[in-house]
């Protein structure tokens, strides 16, 4: 049962991250295309990150964080 809770928490964290990434882009009045062009992140990667789909690309996450003037904090929990 504990394993299921951990998986649920990870899914919730990924959804929260996706929402934050999308909200940051919108709050800075940046288009999807503009972010892709200026960061070099392929559209399918940014789309997946903002929708919380697929595998999280940590390299792209760091690029976006720097681009948006934010920091990334990752922790592993039991």
Phi, psi of 53 (to 5 degrees): -110, 155
Q: Calculate the CA dihedral of residues 32, 53, 68, 57 and round it to 10 degrees.
A: -120
The interaxial angle of helices 58-68 and 43-51, nearest 10 deg, is 90
The 10s digit of each residue's pLDDT in 8-24 is 555 566 678 899 999 99
Contact between 21 and 32 under an 8 Å Cβ cutoff? The reply is no
Nearest to 18 by CA among 59, 58, 60, 47: 47
- Look at residue 35 and tell me whether its pLDDT is greater than 70: yes
Enumerate domains of the chain plus CATH numbers.
2-68 (1.10.260.40)
Residue 76 has pLDDT above 80, yes or no: no
Q: Whole-structure pTM over 0.75, yes or no?
A: yes
């Amino acid at each position: 049962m504990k394993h299921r809770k951990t998986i649920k928490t990870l899914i919730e964290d990924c959804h929260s991250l996706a929402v934050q990434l999308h909200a940051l882009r919108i709050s800075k009045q940046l288009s999807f295309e503009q972010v892709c062009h200026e960061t070099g992140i392929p559209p399918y990667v940014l789309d997946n990150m903002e929708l919380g789909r697929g595998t999280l690309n940590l390299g792209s996450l760091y690029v976006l964080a720097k681009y948006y003037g934010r920091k990334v904090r990752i922790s592993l929990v039991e």
